A = this chain, B = another copy of it.
Amino acid sequence: MKKWIAGILGLAAGALVSILIFADFNPKEEVADQANVATNAQKVYVPFGQKDEYYLFASGGHSGQMFIYGVPSMRHIRTIPVFSPDSATGWGYDKHSKALMGKYSWGDLHHPALSETEGDYDGKYLFATDVANNRAAVMDLKTFSVSDILEVPNIGGPHCAAFVTPNTEYLFLPTRFAVPLGREYASLDEFSTKYKGVMSAVTFNEEKKKLEIAYQVALPPWSYDLSDAGKKISKDWAVMTTYNTEESTTEMEINASQADRDYIVLFNWRELEKMVADGQFDELNGIKMVDPEKHKGAIYLVPTAKSPHGVDVTPDGTRFVASGKLAPAMTVFSFEKAFKAINEKKFAGERNGIPVLDYKSVMEREVNPENALGPLHSQFDDKGFAYTTMFISSEIVKWNVATGETVDRVPVQYSPGHAASAEGDTVSPDGKYIIALNKIAKDTYLPVGPSHPESMQLIDLTGKKMEIIQSAPVDPEPHYAQMIKADKLSPLVVYPKDEKRPNSVWTQKDARITRNGNTVEVHGVALRSKFIFDSNAKRKDVISVKEGDKVVIHLTNIDLDQDITHGFGINSYNLNMEVQPGQTQTIEFIADKAGTYPLYCTNFCSALHQEMNGYLLVEPKA
């Protein structure tokens, strides 16, 4: 193993990395033979009248949003706005979403996680985290919209998240960046003493549709990268990778790549839960903070090849596979062996007060496919095979988890980070498809200037050999994705007509405008093809206010028909929102500019959509 570590060290110097990636993996302008092309074309073609078989939920990275694709067509069906505003849907403009977004106007949406029941995707909710601004979000798959966003204190970049436990008891948010405990100012000279990598345990209250912080754990000041929850025999446990155990504070590309071994953090969340119930925590900014140096028995370190990225639990829950991005090997670890070592307290020592397991006592096998470089992340099928993305050698390697034997390899273009197989993170993967989430598209698609799209490639797993059957350009930038069988979801077609919903109005005659001091409140309706704000007025589709008034507009879309969404925009007032069929939305603003402002339906709704407009008249101050 020494040999490859030495070889890889060169890579860490930075310059070499680019040469490797961009010299060796130039495009091969091979056009697949025609018969093959014809077969693949049909495999991904979903003719009108039929639908895709799977949903793919792909993180949108620094777009802040969630991208939804149909598989096998790889068509981009929808974007759910999450951490960044979206004027098309009015996300961040209407009162509800504006409040959820709080003081932030963007996010870096990382790993999406579907809710699970008994270790299987249940199709109910989707979770994701914001590395940029330390938040978690939950989306309701009945409406494909965000139910809640939670800002988490004390942490710096919840990258290594979210992965949920088998019954969605928790989503864990370990962080990529160490920060001083409580996020105070502290010199980097005090990094090892004052900085911490804080992991948060977040729960979802399904009744209230709210995310809540259960507790946090003050881990050593390392970078936590990826994680996975245990399954079946390991269901109370979770694993996550960590790098920069060197605790370096500058030039990480070199300094965080020094040690031969980093760690997998193995923890028992049932034990953590008990500790918290037993009062074994300190309070910090209102959060219960567990210090594993003081409270032992829940967290262990497993040495692994340097700078690991992914760690993935096998569908049967017996093993976890770590992939070291600076080591050309996957390491298979045994949960049973780990449990035995823990029970027998056979430790190789401690690091930062946390027991370290002996590598050999827990490791089952090192898997080292010839010339495969940069293993990052593994997914699984239904037949005992793992599929690991090779970032540097730009391929996916299929191998047998039980034997370590390499079974097949397929080149992808270029530089795959994660991959997502059909139901791949569940106890029962489907084994039909895997999608490579490539970080670089380079010359794959029509050129669009210096900034390129990323690229996802769909690979058919049903034949003798893995085969790429479709390439799809992607807006920046998916970091992870999950693929779920389409029949597990049953979204709403219209919002129910709920007459008790606050501020809703369901008939034209109830539409009204009221004034209370300097506040003008509109209870209006939108229907094909008009707005009614005040049923008693001479012009029912006009809102007249005085300069400086606060204006509150509640709008209910009373068209209870599929796909009849109305928009509501006010010219020059920088306001827009969407009102979906049966929905009530509220927008608030100060009428701080006198004048005449057309308002109109911004979302196409009918043959007379173009006529669906009115005016906001703002009378100047005397």
Contact = CB atoms under 8 A, between A and B. Distances in A.
Nearest to A452: B563
A477 B542 CA distance: 26
B540 A251 contact: yes
A144 interface: yes
Interface string A428-440: 0000000000011
A608 B493 contact: no
A143 interface: yes
Interface in A397-454: 413, 415, 417, 439-454
A539 interface: yes
A386 to B, nearest CB: 21
Interface string A95-109: 000000001111110
B17 A325 contact: no
A259 interface: no
Contacts of A617: 185, 187-188
Nearest to A473: B77
Of A41, A61, A451, chain B has the most CB atoms within 10 Å of the CB of A451
A318 interface: no
A578 to B, nearest CB: 7
Interface in A570-615: 571-572, 574, 576, 578, 580-583, 594-596, 598, 600, 602-604, 606-608, 610-615
A203 interface: no
A76 interface: yes
Given A445-B75, A449-B143, A607-B11, A530 B48 contact: no
B562 A443 contact: yes
Taken together, the copies of this chain in the complex come to 2
A391 B571 CA distance: 26
Given A529-B253, A612-B253, A86 B63 contact: yes
A529 B441 CA distance: 19
A218 interface: no
Given A28-B49, A251-B541, A576 B17 contact: no
Interface in A517-573: 527-530, 538-542, 559, 561-565, 567, 569, 571-572
A134 interface: yes
Interface in A61-80: 61-64, 68, 70, 74-79
Taking chain A's interface residues, is the majority helix, strand, or loop, or is none over half, making it mixed?
Answer: loop
Contact of A413 (B48, B574, B598): B48
Contact of A132 (B14, B309, B540, B569): B569
A510 interface: no
A157 interface: yes
Contact of A441 (B452, B473, B563): B563
A444 B48 contact: yes
A33 B610 CA distance: 38
Contact of A596 (B11, B186, B457, B569): B186
Contacts of A284: none
A66 to B, nearest CB: 11
B86 A596 contact: no
A243 B449 CA distance: 40
Given A448-B491, A578-B451, A604-B417, A87 B75 contact: no
A507 interface: no
Contact of A87 (B84, B143, B183): B84
Given A87-B105, A132-B602, 14 more contacts: A18-B561, A28-B49, A48-B468, A61-B603, A62-B569, A157-B598, A177-B613, A185-B617, A244-B611, A252-B541, A374-B607, A391-B607, A447-B490, A454-B604
17 contacts: A17-B529, A31-B47, A48-B444, A62-B87, A68-B448, A70-B473, A75-B473, A77-B448, A85-B105, A176-B610, A177-B571, A177-B613, A185-B620, A243-B611, A250-B538, A443-B562, A449-B580
4 closest residue pairs by CB, A with B: A87-B106, A177-B598, A41-B45, A144-B449
